[in-house]
Amino acid sequence: MQSEFAVELRDVVKQFVTPEGNLLNAVDHVTMQIKNGEFFSMLGSSGCGKTTSLRMIAGFEWPTEGEVYIEGKPMGHTPPFQRKVNTVFQNYALFQHMTVYQNVAFGLEMEGADKNEIEKRVKRALEMVQLTGMERRKPRQLSGGQQQRVAVARALVKLPDVLLLDEPLGALDLKLRKEMQLELKALQQELGITFIYVTHDQEEALTMSDRIAVMSKGKVMQMGTPVEIYERPANRFVADFIGESNFLEGKIKSVSADEASVFVPALNAELSGVPMSKDFVNGEEVVISIRPEKIRIVDADAEKDGVFRAKVINSIYIGSDTHVFLDCNGVRLKVMEQNHISRLDPHSFYHKDQAVGVYLIPENTLVLKKEA
């Protein structure tokens, strides 16, 4: 029976002895299940263990503990070429002296495939990445985005069930990167193969993925859909790492099934109906997280539940948005406002020390454990 999971990591540890003589768990008890046909991303900052995890799936490294399964089979020490996965490396690793055609054909030639078969498959792979007609160019005669597509074609030509991509767009400028994100996502959907994608760019992960594993220091901090991760971060680390968050200290007053009432000293008020993603107990010290775009600035004298007094520290105009920093009883709050009307008059913007009201809607906030 075919496994539901394309790839599974069960309690995988990868330990390195660093040249400095220390033991390091580069991957620290990681468990993830990646479904067939899924676009799955590992997201985390530099050194959190993304490449190491990918290399263990590919078979370039073996776990110190735990096991990697591909299509339900434990991989043990199976070498890379016997795994139905292929890797697109961060630096493309194209052969500079070979043409596009030769680069893509190389892996098949090494396997000893016959000439007609190679021709057919290279043609199809180049069609997939829209490089038909460029067969005779050398990598240096291509743009960065085209080189990147050659790297993808070279991996696709072997018809892998799973494609592993290690920061494949890292070298491209922002605009091209955004185009390629959509192209790669469309290609993945069209082919229906599983993509395991490594990036440290949160927007990229949110744009492309069905599910994301947020990693830090070798551990998975949260796994979920982009919406789950953004709207219901499991802890303070994720709330801070994905997007931006304001954090207010508070204390639990009461809890129901999935909501809490929290006293927040900075507001000198109790917020009720605050969603929570974990269990809390009465009296527990917590933090409330609030996204900058979910706070509204209202008139200073607005009399309404959920409106608190604040003062403008400064405001920064960045074209599409204005970022406003507020002082709310000594706590700094960041608010993002979309500039949905054109205005030039400097007086229409917030000014330092302006008294304002901040409107916090409890259902747009979240209770988190105080410790990261």
Ligand X SMILES: Nc1ncnc2c1ncn2[C@@H]1O[C@H](COP(=O)(O)OP(=O)(O)OP(=O)(O)O)[C@@H](O)[C@H]1O
- Residues near ligand X, by CB under 6 A: 16, 18, 24, 26, 44, 46-52, 200
Q: Which is nearer to Mg ion, 208 or 360 (CB)?
A: 208
DSSP states of 335-369: EEEE--S----GGGS--TT-EEEEEE-GGGEEEEE
Q: Which two tokens stand for residue 130?
A: 């829209």
Q: What are the strands of the beta sheet with 73-74, ordered from one edge?
A: 23-35, 5-17, 65-70, 73-74
Site track for Mg ion across 313-342, x = CB under 5 A: ------------------------------
The residue to which tokens 């070298």 are assigned = 171
Can you spell out the DSSP letters for 201-231? -HHHHHHH-SEEEEEETTEEEEEE-HHHHHH
Cβ(155)–Cβ(89) under 8 Å?
Answer: no
Nearer to ligand X by Cβ, of 24 and 98: the residue is 24
Q: Which of residues 36 and 90 has its CB atom nearest to ligand X in the complex?
A: 90
β-partners of residue 24 are: 16
Beta carbon nearer to ligand X, 200 or 253: 200
Kindly tell me the burial class for residue 209, based on how many C-beta atoms sit within 10 Å of its own C-beta (0-12, 13-18, 19 or more). Answer: buried
Q: How far is the CB of 7 from ligand X (least distance, A)?
A: 17
Look at residue 47 and give the partner it binds from Mg ion, ligand X, none, a contact being a CB closer than 5 to 8 Å depending on partner kind.
Answer: ligand X
Q: Give least dist CB 357 to Mg ion, A.
A: 46
51 binds Mg ion (CB under 5 A): yes
Counting contacts by CB under 5 A, is residue 199 touching Mg ion? no
Minimum distance, C-beta of residue 60 to ligand X, in the bound complex (Å): 10
Residue 96: name its binding partner from ligand X, Mg ion, none (Cβ under 5 to 8 Å by kind). Answer: none
Number of residues that bind Mg ion (CB under 5 A): 1
**Residue (of 71, 53, 84) closest to 199 by Cα position:** 53
Q: Report if residue 235 touches Mg ion, rule: CB under 5 A.
A: no
Nearest CB to ligand X, comparing residues 90 and 272: 90
Give me the residues that bind Mg ion (CB under 5 A), please. Answer: 51
